Structure 1
Amino acid sequence: MTYRERLNHWAVIRLLPNCQRVVVDRFRSRSDAEGHAQAMRRLVTDGEFIVVFDPVGSDVEAGDRNS
């Protein structure tokens, strides 16, 4: 994970059936993430989107966190 990717702590998540989720995008500020989530809610009316704080990144393996 690059330094630039580590700066993006706010993520917009789309919730799917069966407790699955997809990271739509990551943002540096919460207000940017909220704005994007609001736009996604208007465009995809049957989708459920949430904003979460993710300091490490959900796509990082446990072994990579120490590096």
Structure 2
Amino acid sequence: MTYRERLNHWAVIRLLPNCQRVVIDRFRSWSDAEGHAQAMRRLVPDGEFIVVFDPVRADLKEGDRGSGVGA
């Protein structure tokens, strides 16, 4: 995981049926993430988007964080 990836702690998540989710993007600040989520809500009115805090654990290796769907 690069240093830049470690700085992005806020994630915009799209909630899908059957308790699945997709990480749309990660952001450094909550306000940036919320602004992006609001834009996504306007573009995809039937989608459900949330902003979550996603702390980075130093002991995770590259690829251990999952692809977003079902992770």
Bin for the TM-score computed over the shorter chain = 0.7 to 0.9
Q: Distance in 1 between matches of 2:36 and 2:48?
A: 13
Bigger helix fraction: 1
Q: Distance in 2 between matches of 1:50 and 1:60?
A: 23
Q: Distance in 2 between matches of 1:15 and 1:22?
A: 7
**Could you state the TM-score of these two structures normalised by the residue count of structure 1?**
0.84
Which aligned pairs between 1:14-53 and structure 2 lie closer than 5 A?
Answer: 14-53=14-53
- Contiguous gaps of at least 5 residues in structure 2: 66-71
- Contiguous gaps of at least 5 residues in structure 1: 63-67
1:61 to 44, 60, 64: 64
CA RMSD of aligned residues (A): 1.8
Deviation at 1:60, TM superposition (A): 5.0
Which runs of structure 1 show a deviation greater than 3 angstroms over 4 or more consecutive aligned residues? none
Of all paired residues, the percent bearing the same amino acid is 87
**Could you state the TM-score of these two structures normalised by the residue count of structure 2?**
0.80
